Chains A and B, each alone.
Chain A
Amino acid sequence: MNTAHTVAVAHAPVSAAAGAILPGVRWALARDIRLALRSRAELAVQLLFYVIVVSLFPLATTPERTLLATMGPGVLWVAALLASLLSLPRLFAADYADGTLEQIALSPYPLESLVSGKVLAHWLTTGLPVVVLAPLLGIQYSMDAESLVVLSLALLLGTPVLSLLGAIGAALTLGLRAGSSLLALLILPLYVPVLIFGAGAVDAARAGLGVAANISLLGAGLLIAIVGAPFAAAAAVRIALD
């Protein structure tokens, strides 16, 4: 009977894909990066938004150097938060709308690994450019070299947390009307610790204090988010599909 053959075929992918975390991460990462590169205009808009928001403050407030240097880290961090928020609604919504999310949830690869790949792609396309641009933009605020280095390091540790936490919010608000405004309300309070420790690290550097405490806390937050967020986001995706 053909059934035996079919059953053997049926079970082959289970053994091949069971616990296969890396292929899932790789699939989602490669696909989302490719999609992002196909719509480069969108990426450019997000980055320009970041650059413009940061550049508005010196124009709107004061050209006074000390004041700008005090404000700088906070402004750069808030702008990074907003830039992250700008791109988050699309993290799952596009896949949800065209049916890809169902196929993702039904893939033999663990949903958590696919979600992780998507989050990593989101950070590489929106978070990393922010980190790279920050030192350039920091010059507008006459921040000194040491502050700029600390700022970059803090953003490097903090922006992945923004993507990871944001993924939970993006998955929770899937399919809701006014989902993206709700996402902002839901996620911005969760970003507060990242903002405090991130901007605090730069302040500590400017005051000549050690930055180790703030940076360590950001790193710890990142580790917790890496471990926890993919599970929470995957659970939220499953709920959204039900």
Chain B
Amino acid sequence: MLEAHDLAARRGHARLFEGLNFAVEAGHALVVTGANGTGKTTLLRMLAGLSLPDAGEIRWDRKPVAPFDPVVRASIAFAGHAPALKDELTAEENLTALLALAGEMASPEAIGRALDTVALGSRRALPARVLSQGQRRRIGLARLSLLARPLWILDEPVTALDAAGTTMLAEMVAAHLERGGLAVAATHAPLGLPAQRTRSITLQ
């Protein structure tokens, strides 16, 4: 379970949000909406443990966590604004490297299957620099599907994805929730997640 108590954030002198409370239970998703500059990315980075909240507390499994907490690092899959791909490496190498960095060894077959699932099977040997933005996002989807992490933190996950990619993402998140996982997503576009498992908050 992921909880936020009285969370506050500011950038410089501007207050982004304060007194933010929520709890996400296993098998549920939290969708964060709000206009540009209301602190969605800041909130997600706090939950991922990349930034320190200006006030309040984040709890994971009922224990307060600090930024870069090892337990949190081993529990989350963070998909930020940038897809963390290296232009010089192929789709396959990028995926392998990202999984190894997360401490998970995937067999080449598993990686091939995951790339097939996101319709990049025929592009696996191409350097990431020649892939389109949407295809780069899809590598991120393949990564999520291979990471056995209970908490997914997704920042604008549908950016640059086409309709098929958005459906794919929705199905992956739904399956993840079905398995008892958690997801927090910041988004402008509707994600199409199962309504009974989804809560949303709007930042102002």
User: Who on chain A is nearest to B82 by CB?
Assistant: A99
Q: Does A10 contact B (CB under 8 A)?
A: yes
Chain B residues proximal to chain A, CB less than 8 Å: 26-27, 48-52, 61, 67-68, 70-71, 73-76, 78, 80-89, 93, 97-98, 100-104, 148-150, 178-181
If A7-B150, A106-B48 touch, whether A2 touches B180 (CB-CB below 8 Å) is yes
A-B CB contact pairs (8 Å), 15 listed = A3-B180, A6-B180, A9-B149, A10-B150, A13-B74, A14-B74, A18-B70, A27-B97, A27-B101, A35-B88, A102-B84, A105-B50, A106-B50, A107-B102, A111-B68
Q: CA separation between A109 and B83, bound complex, in Å?
A: 20
In-complex Cβ contact of A108 among B27, B48, B87, B103 (8 A): B103
Residues in chain B near residue A16, CB distance under 8 A: 103
Task: Please report whether the interface of chain B is mostly helix, strand, loop or mixed according to DSSP.
Answer: loop
If A14-B71, A242-B67 touch, whether A102 touches B101 (CB-CB below 8 Å) is no
Q: Does A241 contact B (CB under 8 A)?
A: yes
Smallest beta-carbon distance A10→chain B, Å: 5
In-complex Cβ contact of B179 among A6, A39, A106 (8 A): A6
In-complex Cβ contact of B73 among A3, A5, A38, A108 (8 A): A108
Residues in chain B near residue A97, CB distance under 8 A: 82
Q: CA separation between A204 and B32, bound complex, in Å?
A: 66
CB-based contact A6/B26 at 8 Å:
yes
CB-based contact B148/A38 at 8 Å:
no
User: Who on chain B is nearest to A39 by CB?
Assistant: B88
**Total A-B residue pairs with C-beta atoms closer than 8 Å?**
111
If A3-B26, A100-B84 touch, whether A106 touches B73 (CB-CB below 8 Å) is yes
CB-based contact B150/A6 at 8 Å:
yes
Q: CA separation between A1 and B1, bound complex, in Å?
A: 14
CB-based contact B49/A106 at 8 Å:
yes
Q: Does A65 contact B (CB under 8 A)?
A: no
Residues in chain B near residue A14, CB distance under 8 A: 70-71, 74
CB-based contact A10/B84 at 8 Å:
no
Smallest beta-carbon distance B41→chain A, Å: 11
Among B81, B88, B103, the one with the most A-chain Cβ atoms within 10 Å of its Cβ is: B103
CB-based contact B103/A17 at 8 Å:
yes
Q: CA separation between A6 and B1, bound complex, in Å?
A: 11
CB-based contact B82/A11 at 8 Å:
no
Q: CA separation between A100 and B104, bound complex, in Å?
A: 16
Indicate with 1 or 0, residue by residue over A85-128, a CB within 8 angstroms of chain B CB atoms: 00000000000011110111111110100100000000000000
Indicate with 1 or 0, residue by residue over A1-38, a CB within 8 angstroms of chain B CB atoms: 11101110111111011101001000100010011001
CB-based contact A38/B89 at 8 Å:
yes
Q: CA separation between A5 and B104, bound complex, in Å?
A: 17
If A242-B52, A242-B67 touch, whether A102 touches B80 (CB-CB below 8 Å) is yes
